[in-house]
């Protein structure tokens, strides 16, 4: 049987390949937009927001120190009378409305407890990040609590909040330790007696059987 030569493959006999899909310009624009947003967020988080948080923290700190100094001032003494101290209007206290005015924003979240209230001022708004925020603690009257202290980029210490129980180590019985050291029924006293007996050249006296 004679084999027939195979026909050469030409461009006419090759199947047509599907055309390459063209990249959508809108997809490229969206990817570039996401990249720009991420870069801007990083710049804001590491370069823009931290100086603003520090400036707001220092401003509130200076206001609190000044208010404490001006809260009670000595009044000029009358003729032959003792000096008196008077409280300025507001008693030198700072309230939430003034804190918001100092920081230039409203609290992102407020945590109310029985004995205190914490307001969180976040430079990321409602996003709960552990960076670039100030926590302000208020105490006093539940209806109108006043400023107590504030923190930057850290949560308030539980041991410094009102009503928190601080665990203390168990007390050490110093009397028992002193008794053992003096040899009240302990080994040190027996050893001392044995050394004293040996030094005198005798043997330690043994107690009668009924007294042991």
Cα–Cα distance list, 202 to 140, 193, 197, 205 (Å): 77, 12, 6, 9
Domain assignment present for residue 183? The answer is no
Query: What would the mean pLDDT of 19-33 be, rounded to a whole number?
Result: 80
- In the chain, the number of structural domains is 1
DSSP state of 186: S
Residue 193 covered by a domain: no
pLDDT at residue 14, as a whole number: 57
Is 198 within a domain? no
What is the residue range of 123's domain? 28-71+90-160
Overall average pLDDT of the 191-197 stretch: 52
Least confident of 88-97, 120-129, 201-210: 201-210
Whole-model pTM? 0.60
152: burial class by Cβ within 10 Å (0-12, 13-18, 19+)?
middle
Question: Is there a domain that residue 6 lies in?
Answer: no
How large is the average pLDDT for residues 119-146? 92
């Amino acid at each position: 049987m004679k084999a027939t030569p195979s026909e050469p493959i030409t461009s006419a006999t090759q199947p047509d390949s599907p055309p390459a899909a063209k990249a959508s310009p809108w997809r490229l624009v969206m990817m570039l937009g996401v990249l720009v947003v991420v870069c801007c967020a990083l710049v804001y988080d590491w370069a823009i927001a931290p100086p603003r948080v520090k400036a707001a923290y220092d401003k509130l700190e200076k206001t609190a120190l000044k208010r404490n100094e001006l809260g009670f001032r000595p009044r000029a003494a009358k003729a032959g009378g003792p000096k008196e101290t008077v409280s300025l209007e507001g008693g030198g206290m700072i309230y939430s409305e003034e804190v918001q005015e100092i920081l230039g924003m409203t609290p992102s979240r407020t945590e109310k407890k029985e004995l205190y209230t914490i307001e969180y001022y976040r430079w990321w708004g409602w996003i709960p990040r552990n960076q670039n925020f100030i926590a302000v603690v208020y105490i006093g009257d539940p209806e109108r609590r006043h400023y107590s202290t504030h923190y930057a980029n850290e949560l308030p210490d539980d041991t410094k909040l009102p009503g928190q129980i601080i665990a203390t180590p168990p007390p050490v019985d110093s009397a028992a330790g002193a008794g053992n050291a003096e040899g009240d029924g302990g080994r040190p006293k027996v050893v001392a007696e044995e050394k004293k007996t040996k030094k005198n050249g005798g043997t330690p006296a043994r107690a009668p059987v009924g007294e042991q």
